[in-house]
């Protein structure tokens, strides 16, 4: 099979497009012909500095396609089924072998490209807001990186849940586009201090739930946005600023909380998160939620696609097509 591979982490230029051995499905796994790859934020972080499990290495969390074969013991899927899959690596390729419990059936009316964008973004956003953030109707949610895949999912889900939705982005044009997805107030973090803006927009009260994906000093500042009994859910380090010590003692005075969230861990602990993602797929098929696809690149141009994402100009998902 063809794949976008590299031997050592680095910039987007480390990618090569070449032949690698076809994977074989082990017991409990399905072999999928990949038709659409959604590049996740973690894919770019892993390519830049993550663990290389083999050389050459195939990076990538999420993709969708058609089942070609099922290993021994597989019961949920059979040859010809369309599925979307997640895993720690291996999406940037023409074929992928993954456990059946890491696959979701794609509803008949949903395109494979749209389905490829769903589990990580919508699963993370929904869990962080409601399962861990306990967002309630009438509360205020602040979503960082509003134009990202998780951000666009979170804005829609928070609005549907009856919340007032604030979001940050790096330019006014993208914030204006988010209004059609349910954004109530956008904050351009390049021209405004988002802490001051959140306080201003909430008459000093602050945000009840903050969905924080940037990390570092942005996470530290986000804690200052919290309302009384507010909850900040940390879901990533897109700003690549790790290791910053954060003093959480000020949270005690406002009975506030800081929690971390990782979808992969939740999927390992029971069926709840798996079924929630199946629900998001059904809602997208019904048209009550939307996926926004910014650009599509051929798989051989994986380096250009990663570079575009890292330019922070993308609005929504960027796909690779084998």
Q: Give CA separation, 19 vs 34, 63, 161, 250, in Å.
A: 15, 19, 46, 54
Mean pLDDT for 32-51 is 96
| Closest CA relative to residue 227, chosen from 243, 205, 248 | 205
| pLDDT tens digits for range 46-70 | 999 999 998 899 999 999 999 999 9
Pair 186, 146: CB distance under 8 Å: yes
Range(s) for CATH 3.90.180.10 in the chain?
Answer: 2-117+291-321
Query: How many beta carbons lie within 10 A of that of residue 313, not counting itself?
Result: 13
| pLDDT tens digits for range 24-34 | 999 999 999 99
| Closest CA relative to residue 299, chosen from 96, 85, 106, 110 | 96
Token reading at 49: 């500095």
Mean pLDDT for 290-294 is 98
Q: Is the pLDDT of residue 240 over 80?
A: no
Q: Kindly indicate the confidence band of residue 286, based on its pLDDT and cuts at 50, 70 and 90.
A: very high
Mean pLDDT for 248-271 is 96
Task: List all residues 6 or more positions away from 42 whose beta carbon is below 8 Å from its beta carbon.
Answer: 61, 120, 236
Q: Kindly indicate the confidence band of residue 239, based on its pLDDT and cuts at 50, 70 and 90.
A: confident
What is the CATH architecture of 2-117+291-321? Alpha-Beta Complex (3.90)
Range(s) for CATH 3.40.50.720 in the chain?
Answer: 121-262
**Can the peptide bond before residue 56 be classed as cis, meaning omega within 30 degrees of 0?**
yes
Residue 1 has a pLDDT of 98
| pLDDT tens digits for range 111-161 | 999 999 999 999 999 999 999 999 999 999 999 999 999 999 999 999 999
Residue 244 has a pLDDT of 77
Residue 242 has a pLDDT of 72
Residue bearing tokens 């205020």: 140
Greater confidence, 245 or 76? 76
Predicted model pTM: 0.96
Task: List all residues 6 or more positions away from 27 whose beta carbon is below 8 Å from its beta carbon.
Answer: 71, 72, 73
**Angstrom distance (rounded) from CA 166 to CA 142:** 5
**Angstrom distance (rounded) from CA 304 to CA 47:** 13
Residue 254 has a pLDDT of 98
Give the chain's mean pLDDT: 96
| pLDDT tens digits for range 164-223 | 999 999 999 999 999 999 999 999 999 999 999 999 999 999 999 999 999 999 999 999
Residue 238 has a pLDDT of 83
CATH class of 121-262: alpha beta
């Amino acid at each position: 099979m063809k794949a976008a591979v590299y031997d050592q982490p680095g910039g987007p230029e480390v990618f090569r497009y070449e032949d690698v051995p076809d994977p074989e499905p082990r017991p409990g796994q399905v072999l999928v012909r990949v038709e659409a790859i959604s590049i996740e934020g973690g894919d770019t972080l892993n390519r830049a500095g993550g663990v290389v499990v083999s050389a050459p290495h195939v990076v990538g969390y999420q993709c969708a396609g058609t089942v070609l074969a099922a290993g021994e013991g597989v019961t949920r899927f059979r040859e010809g089924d369309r599925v979307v899959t997640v895993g720690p690596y291996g999406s940037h390729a023409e074929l992928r072998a993954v456990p059946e419990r890491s696959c979701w059936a794609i509803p008949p009316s949903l395109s494979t490209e749209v389905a490829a964008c769903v589990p990580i973004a919508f699963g993370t956003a929904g869990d962080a807001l409601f399962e861990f953030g306990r967002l309630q109707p009438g509360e205020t949610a602040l979503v960082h990186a509003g134009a990202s895949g998780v951000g666009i999912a979170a804005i829609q889900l928070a609005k549907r849940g009856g919340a007032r939705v604030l979001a940050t982005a790096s330019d006014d044009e993208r914030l204006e586009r988010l209004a059609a997805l349910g954004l109530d107030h956008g904050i351009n973090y390049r021209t405004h201090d988002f802490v001051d803006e959140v306080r201003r927009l909430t008459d000093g009260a602050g945000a009840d739930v903050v969905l924080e994906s940037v990390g570092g000093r942005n996470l530290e500042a986000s804690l200052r946005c919290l309302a009384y009994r507010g909850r900040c859910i940390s879901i990533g380090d897109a700003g690549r600023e790790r290791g910053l010590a954060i003093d959480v003692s000020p949270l005690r005075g406002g009975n506030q909380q800081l929690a971390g969230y990782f979808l992969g861990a939740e999927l390992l602990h029971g069926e709840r998160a798996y079924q929630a993602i199946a629900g998001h797929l059904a809602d997208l098929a019904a048209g009550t939620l939307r996926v926004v696809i910014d650009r599509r690149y051929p798989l051989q141009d994986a380096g250009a696609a990663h570079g575009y994402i890292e330019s922070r100009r993308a609005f929504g998902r960027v796909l690779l097509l084998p």
